Amino acid sequence: MRFHIYKNKEKLREKLAKWVSDLINETLQNQEYFTLALSGGETPKILFKTLASSSYNEKINWNKIKIFWGDERAVPFTDERNNAGMAYKTLIDHINIPASNINVMRTDIEPVFAALEYEKILHNYFDHTPHSFDLVLLGLGDDGHTLSLFPGSAILHDENKNWVNAVYNEQQKMYRITLMPSIVNRSSNIVFMIDGEKKSTVLAKVIDGNYIPFELPAQLIKPEKGKLHWFLDEDAAKNLNAKNSN
């Protein structure tokens, strides 16, 4: 587990964009493709826009990137809450990447069938590879959730079985499709990107508190052989135990 803490979210965005770019280029020296799972929510928007800017767009061989998603809300692509839609607007529409490299979670069919279809796609990629994704980008909710793994959810008991699940979120009154820890934890690199004082309390609980994954599902993210990175701004990191934040 490694921590990268920066003064503000702007510096965090810049440093993470460079880190991602460097990781992609380094990895592609030894393999044909780089597999990247994107996250949804507000925080990644600034990262996606930075990666799409001229500073990084031209440094990354997007033809060699295979894009996936960590989770998706079961709403139409045109709905502003759709994670893929957000990624297209901020990143994908601005880079030169073949459509065949992009693996969207479908929201035009029943969520259970969408989850089964996405799991088949992942098995085609990763059944015979030493790891799953080269990089998974994650966020952290105020309640300790990541992906669509919410506190108290029944699918948390299925963490070591399915790679993808559909789940109904009662608070949001909607279905969601999500990767499970069983496939995420096989990744080579996992990055949590978190900014703002609002997340500082729950972040400290996830990292420094008791292991209670049924209440803090983000604690289920524990790479088997890969690396776990926390990219934070100072506001988000302010409540961390000093030994963990160095």
Give pLDDT, residue 245.
Answer: 53
Cβ-in-10-Å burial (0-12, 13-18, 19+) of 120 comes to exposed
The contacts of residue 93 (CB under 8 Å, 6+ apart) are none
Q: For position 159, what pLDDT does the model report?
A: 62
For the segment 38-73, what is each residue's pLDDT rounded down to a tens digit? 998 888 899 999 999 998 988 999 999 999 999 999
Q: What letters, b where the CB count within 10 A reaches 16 and e where it falls short, cover 172-193?
A: eeebbbbbbbbbbbbbbbbbbb
- In 10 A of CB 86, how many CB atoms? 21
Average pLDDT on 86-90 reads: 96
Tokens encoding 15: 């440093």
pLDDT at residue number 77: 94
Mean pLDDT of 10-38: 96
SS3 assignment for 59-127: CCCHHHEEEEECEEECCCCCCCCCHHHHHHHHCHHHCCCCHHHECCCCCCCCHHHHHHHHHHHHHHHHC
**Spatial separation of the C-alpha atoms in residues 134 and 119, rounded to whole Å:** 17
Neighbours of 209 (CB within 10 A): 15
- Ranges of H-type helices in the chain: 9-27, 43-52, 54-57, 83-90, 111-126, 181-184, 200-208, 234-237
pLDDT of res. 64:
97
Confidence band of 244 (pLDDT split at 50, 70, 90): low
Question: Of 186, 130, 176, which is closest to residue 155 (Cα–Cα)?
Answer: 176
Domains of the chain by residue range:
2-237
Work out the mean pLDDT of the chain and round it to a whole number.
94
Domain 2-237 belongs to what topology? Rossmann fold (3.40.50)
On the question of pLDDT at 93 being above 90, the answer is yes
pLDDT at 128: 92
- Whether the CB-CB separation of 40 and 73 falls below 8 Å is answered with yes
Of the candidates 41, 116, 33, the one whose C-alpha atom is nearest the C-alpha of residue 72 is 41
Residue bearing tokens 């800017």: 53
10 Å CB burial of residue 142 (0-12, 13-18, 19+) is exposed
- The owner of tokens 């978190």 is 194
Tens-digit pLDDT profile for residues 178-235: 999 999 999 999 999 999 999 999 999 999 999 999 999 999 999 999 999 999 999 9
